[in-house]
Amino acid sequence: MTREERIRAALARHPDWDDSRIANSMARYHVPVREIRLIRQGQPLPSPIPEAKPEGGLVSLQKIIEKYDIRSAIFRELAALPKGQLIAEAELCQRATGQDRNRFRRTVENNADEFRPYRIKLRLDESSEGKFYWGHPEDIAEAQRIRDL
């Protein structure tokens, strides 16, 4: 049964239901409300655009870089950070590497001199021993100046 036939059958079974209720009843088929509205108005469904897939097991080099180049991912996240804001290291790790905390830690340890201007350890609450925060070098320098007063 085609997508359009499924929608028409659902509309015939439940003519009193609104479009969102029909869409909810067809959730397993991922039918959007806009398609139900088109069928109700007597218009045809738009033809699906085929998704471009790589040929024969090819993988994009950009995809590999995004997955494994943690150093660049850290710098991308820091570049997106607004001036005057710091980000907790746990949040930066999540944004840069997802769940791979070990890879993040290894990258930071292997590039310690390079990351030093972007990182500071602060104790913002009395119960903790301190956490690392990341930001732009100017913001880190200002936070360090205030911390060391």
Query: CATH code at 110?
Result: 1.10.10
Mark whether 142 and 72 lie in a shared domain: yes
SS3 70: helix
pLDDT at residue 52 is higher than 70: no
Tokens for 84, please give them.
């005057």
Residue 13 included in any domain: yes
Mark whether 33 and 67 lie in a shared domain: no
Whole-model pTM over 0.75:
no
Quote the distance between the C-alpha of residue 13 and its chain's center.
40
Helices (H), 29-136: 33-40, 61-68, 70-80, 89-97, 101-110, 112-115
Segment 74-130, tens digit of pLDDT:
999 999 999 999 999 999 999 888 878 999 999 999 999 999 999 999 988 876 788
What residues make up the domain containing 141? 61-147
What is the count of structural domains for the chain?
2
Mark whether 141 and 77 lie in a shared domain: yes
